[in-house]
Structure 1
């Protein structure tokens, strides 16, 4: 078993693509970030950590870090690869705020990292990956979906800040940089009923699939069906544009959002955990 490190995202993706696509749903986030690293290199300011682990010339695990975000771990076919990755990160003196990935893989890695660094860790979020191939009919609500524009910038700054505070308070993100990037890439959509009342975001995972995220409705507009309408309409638009599948993550602690997405047609695929490490 050996580990391979890559400086060039394009070369990394060429080597990792087949394995990532073999488990496309589980790897939709890693696939999307790989595309961003190749086509929008300024999206992440620092040099990424990109690695594959091979056994008998076949990839059995993939690791990715885009600082300052969490370490991302792929589906692992031989759990011995996890210790090898942890050792490589430790020997290269790479600090980690946390790890995100499939349930068993992240649990094993968190323990391995604790053994090496003595950093305490705790589960931050239990998520579930869902996929959709056909939108189910839902009750109609007033309004329509539209692409966010530069005129929405101030609103998006406020909503994104509120979303982070509510859903991911430990997320080490620059609100201005993130909003500017997604606006420039035409990723952000709004549901408008006289005024904007809900938002969501769509990014490419593969040539034939996209991922929906950043679903947010301000408290004063909730329980009116706007988020459902926004996600359903955006999902249908993505399918109409040629995507075969849409992916999204839900927080298992939020029963409302899980119910909403189920009604739209999203079906669970697997669970995904986020662990946070205490600072040394």
Structure 2
């Protein structure tokens, strides 16, 4: 890994990153669910699992201990663990010289806000908060009632086309774009039994809920999707409860999920099932940065 004056160390080597930061991430698997599951996926799929450009990782060390980490899988946002304002500013200063295409950042709100402001100062970008999410953990699983007719089943290869389409539809429904090719996403989830369907008594699929493979004792549920014409009938709640039950039965110590705070229907549903809040997260998008120059001093070179 390459040392910097700011105590942040950068690498594109996944093994080197995990050798330095793995214990830190695993010591807090709930708040670190995203870096844990993304690095696990990169290890399984390969380093091009999220895009053609190689991922970038960073570790913050001070006094001989890891204090924070980040990863970025281009072309997607930076994902940053909780750090203080000084360390967020130092990271922005460092990345302004190596990642001029940074499209945004996601972290717990104080960290995300501090990094976004530092990035604005140093690059001239406009930083806009575009999404607020809450991380939940399962406490006491309660099946939503009344449970609709039908049953849950693990999706198989025969469901690939449906899963790919629903993955794209889910991305559209939350106002974003699909992070991966729908077929590749479906193949990956099918390979480890990572998505279940709620189907009608006649076998018609009605809703889906995914789940990550277990890492450091935690499993994260998502995405949860019901086609618009089928919503409000309990299918999402039923399949989410079943996926949550299955994760617990398979030995997961923590079952987690994220919910969009702008969607009170989903957040209410998850609380009824037995999920309780852990922490909030904020996503910022960056636009309009001066390419190849710093807003602070005009001297920053290109990538």
Q: Same fold (TM over 0.5)?
A: yes
1:101 aligns with 2:101: no
Q: What TM-score comes out, normalization by structure 1 length?
A: 0.94
1:259 aligns with 2:268: yes
* Higher alpha-carbon deviation: 166-175 or 105-114: 166-175
Query: Which residue does the alignment assign to 1:192?
Result: 199
Distance 2:210 2:270 in 1: 15
Q: Which has the higher strand share?
A: 1
Distance 1:275 1:165 in 2: 18
* Higher alpha-carbon deviation: 164-173 or 207-216: 164-173
1:61 aligns with 2:68: yes
Distance 2:280 2:288 in 1: 26
Matching residue within 131, 152, 174 for 2:181: 174
Larger radius of gyration: 2
Number of aligned residue pairs: give it. Answer: 279
> For residues 189-228 of structure 1, what are the structure 2 equivalents within 5 Å?
189-193=196-200, 194=202, 195-204=204-213, 206-228=215-237
Give how far 1:252 is off.
0.6
Is this contact kept in 1: 2:194–2:210, CA < 8 A?
A: yes
Give how far 1:134 is off.
3.2
Q: Which has the higher helix share?
A: 1
Matching residue within 238, 241, 244 for 1:232: 241
Let me know the Cα RMSD of the aligned residues.
1.7
Matching residue within 32, 37, 50 for 2:37: 32
Distance 1:93 1:255 in 2: 36
Distance 1:160 1:135 in 2: 26
Q: What TM-score comes out, normalization by structure 2 length?
A: 0.87
Shift in CA distance, 159/93, structure 1 to aligned 2, threshold 3 Å? closer
Point out 4+ residue stretches in structure 1 off by more than 3 angstroms. Answer: 170-173
Is this contact kept in 2: 1:28–1:205, CA < 8 A?
A: no
Distance 1:157 1:222 in 2: 19
Is this contact kept in 2: 1:4–1:51, CA < 8 A?
A: yes
